[in-house]
Structure 1
Amino acid sequence: MTDEFPLRERSATDADVAEPDLADAIDEVLEAAMTLLSERGDAAVEDGDLDPVFRAHVVEILTEAWTRLAGLRDFGYLQAPASLDLGLMQATADVLLAQGLHPAQPLVSANVLFEVALPAFASRMPVPTVTVAQVLHSSVFGRFVPGALAYAETLRGQLSGVERVAELRLARQLRESILPELAGDRPARAAALVDALSWDLEHPVPQDFPDSLLEYAGHELPVLAPVQVTEIGTRGRVAAPAAEELHAIAVEAIRNARRHAGASRIDVVLIWRPSTLVLTVTDDGHGAPAPLEELGARTHGIASMRRRAALIHTRIRFETDETGTTVTLTCPTDASEDARA
């Protein structure tokens, strides 16, 4: 039966001596889970190993379950589960969001973990298998389900703010780009900026990268600087969340060059390497009036590019002088069979 006694405090040394099977059980579960998750293409497996955050959660869950079962074995009662750390649940949700995972992914991972942990624990614990199953179920789903709910709530909060963000972006573009051109008696340029803004609003989410970027660059606008895109190497595959952010960063760099740099030409180069994409956006404008590191703290466009790059673990570098500005992105990829010279 379950009672109200808290978990017994045990040091790592005590656990190693008293529970020699615990480490073996954890290793067996981790190896089996990694095999199953890898076969399913789960995002918890990266470069042939479990994601460190996922691994840490699994070890904590298994240790808690083992400790509760050991209490039943040694003292005749089933200890209460540890209380949930809500801060940890939210931190996990933030990690899942940054990785662009489906909200149901934690539940799929929980099923896999329960499936492989049950036989590993049942074969080592001299208690009824049904009790092992009950304890594992409580420990596994008691952590993964709240994590999934926190993730869903985080997504809901972000989605509720999307419309407001779009409104603010539209207002900023009207105020900073179009109105000054009208006030300066440059209606042709203002009309081109309105055209560019309309294109952005009609194509909010790219369907395919880098084809979406090629399409954007091919939308010729009078008065505004043309964009030339060059691809070098064998085209690789970019994960969907990363592709969307790369497109957004490149488009933001193009907008900045057109609106603020006085550029007459913009060159976008994509260099595909076996496991990396290097994307550069270069303009021949007058450069920034201050180091971009300083401007990033108060300029929406640069700050937005930095945030987007951080979300997809992509390095971003800004270089500027009187001859122009270059934005360089370095992003991991998976090689594909498609080639584009």
Structure 2
Amino acid sequence: MTDDSLLRDEAAPDSPEAGLADAIDEILETATTLLLERGDAAVEDGQLDPVFRAHVVGILTEAWTRLAGLRDYGHLQAPATMDLGLMQATADVLLSQGLHPAQPLVSANLLFETALPVFADRLPVPTVTVALVLHSSVFGRFVPGALAYAETLRTQLSGVQRVSELRLARQLRETVLPSLAGDDAALVDAIAWDLERPAPAGFPDALMDYAAHELAGAAPVEVTEIGTRGAVSAPAAAELHAIAVEAIRNARRHARASRIDVVVLWRPSTLVLTVTDDGTGAAAPLEELAATTFGVASMRQRAALVHARIRFETHETGTTVTLTCPTTAGAETDREANTDARA
């Protein structure tokens, strides 16, 4: 008997509520079998994780209620989509299960495909309407939870990375720096200072603070901000800062640059960040070096995480890294345009 058996006990035999209880039983049984075959962490000893089960029952109940009540489907936005508490609770469950960030979305698709024929058979509503409402309820719950989960993992990874950086900086100062002198000592001291920098607090202010610090023997950095300052998401701000710092480090350590210029150009819907140095340039196009050069590969990966485009230009008189990233205003404009198109 399912946890939702009270629906059946309190409802008339032919009522929508009784039909829902039977539908949930069938969907849970089929979904459990498929998840078990897949080796999904949501199933243990042949039983669905209780929290996951309650989550699924809530999703199915929401979709069934909307369909049985023949309510206005309008924007088809599930009410729980922006429930921050539910998002974090889902993230905590996924974290405890040690899932890959993409696995919740795979499970959501499995649930949708399992529930669709069951709902369509039991409800006097066109199948396409069942599909629309069910899709809204399933992915309106799973996607925000999956995003919160990915953000939780990113935060944990950042914490681990920070601890590693501080440990390395301490080892450099305590064991390497005392044995060096001159330019070598200056370089190691600069690296240690770089590693000890606190996490950036706001973009581009943190980048300006970073650039304002003069390091002995290191090329100075000039930051110019152009346009009306917009806003980028917190994850994008962190990655933008990291990419700019990596480009500055590369120019200082490898290109023997005497000057580095950073331009932050705000446009209505995008931010364009360029880092230009007057160093020696690379021996080959940086895109070709990405497979063997960790710094370049890291910048490309970071850009991809926040849906930004990155371009490298290098020649004998210097290198330019150009990054184009959507701003929050641009993302909002895109959403409004999509809403208007659907309307």
TM-score, structure 2 normalization: 0.56
Deviation at 1:193, TM superposition (A): 3.9
Alignment correspondent of 2:57:
none
**In 2 relative to 1, CA 277–223 (structure 1 residues): closer, same or farther, beyond 3 Å?**
same
Deviation at 1:200, TM superposition (A): 3.2
Asked if the contact 1:288–1:321 (Cα under 8 Å) also holds between the matched residues in 2, the reply is yes
Deviation at 1:213, TM superposition (A): 0.4
The code of the aligned residue for 1:277 comes to L
> Alignment partner for residue 260 of structure 1, among 247, 251, 254?
254
1:249 aligns with 2:243: yes
**In 2 relative to 1, CA 285–170 (structure 1 residues): closer, same or farther, beyond 3 Å?**
farther
Deviation at 1:283, TM superposition (A): 0.4
Alignment correspondent of 2:300:
306
1:67 aligns with 2:124: no
Match of 1:306, SS state, is helix
1:167 aligns with 2:164: yes
Asked if the contact 1:278–1:331 (Cα under 8 Å) also holds between the matched residues in 2, the reply is yes
**In 2 relative to 1, CA 166–254 (structure 1 residues): closer, same or farther, beyond 3 Å?**
farther
Match of 1:236, SS state, is coil
The code of the aligned residue for 1:167 comes to S
> Alignment partner for residue 206 of structure 1, among 194, 200, 206?
200
> Alignment partner for residue 31 of structure 1, among 75, 86, 103?
75
Deviation at 1:210, TM superposition (A): 0.3
Alignment correspondent of 1:234:
228
> Alignment partner for residue 187 of structure 1, among 182, 185, 201?
182
The CA distance in 2 between the partners of 1:193 and 1:69, in whole Å, is 65
Match of 2:77, SS state, is helix
* CA deviation profile, 1:236-293 (whole Å, cap 9, x unmatched): 1111110000000000000000000000000001111111111100000000122212
The CA distance in 2 between the partners of 1:249 and 1:26, in whole Å, is 50
* CA deviation profile, 1:6-61 (whole Å, cap 9, x unmatched): 69xxxxxxxxxxxxxx99x9995461417996999xx9xxxxxxxxxx99999986
**In 2 relative to 1, CA 57–26 (structure 1 residues): closer, same or farther, beyond 3 Å?**
farther
Match of 2:217, SS state, is coil
* CA deviation profile, 1:125-179 (whole Å, cap 9, x unmatched): 9xxxxxxxxxx7xx9579946994797489459836853686389769x99xx97
Alignment correspondent of 1:339:
none
Deviation at 1:72, TM superposition (A): 3.8
Task: Give unpaired runs (5+ residues) of structure 2.
Answer: 1-21, 32-65, 88-103, 331-343
Q: What percent identity do the matched residue pairs reach?
A: 45
Alignment correspondent of 1:221:
215
Task: Give unpaired runs (5+ residues) of structure 1.
Answer: 8-21, 44-53, 75-119, 126-135, 337-341
The code of the aligned residue for 1:198 comes to W
1:275 aligns with 2:325: no
The CA distance in 2 between the partners of 1:276 and 1:142, in whole Å, is 28
The CA distance in 1 between the partners of 2:166 and 2:315, in whole Å, is 28
Asked if the contact 2:281–2:316 (Cα under 8 Å) also holds between the matched residues in 1, the reply is yes
Alignment correspondent of 2:320:
326
Structure with the bigger RCO (C-alpha within 8 Å, sep 6+) is 1
The CA distance in 2 between the partners of 1:310 and 1:148, in whole Å, is 21
TM-score, structure 1 normalization: 0.56
* CA deviation profile, 1:281-308 (whole Å, cap 9, x unmatched): 0000000122212211011100100000
**In 2 relative to 1, CA 335–154 (structure 1 residues): closer, same or farther, beyond 3 Å?**
closer
**In 2 relative to 1, CA 329–26 (structure 1 residues): closer, same or farther, beyond 3 Å?**
farther
* CA deviation profile, 1:200-239 (whole Å, cap 9, x unmatched): 3231x21110000000000111211000001111111111
Asked if the contact 2:260–2:275 (Cα under 8 Å) also holds between the matched residues in 1, the reply is yes
The code of the aligned residue for 2:75 comes to E
The CA distance in 2 between the partners of 1:312 and 1:270, in whole Å, is 17
Paired residues, number: 247
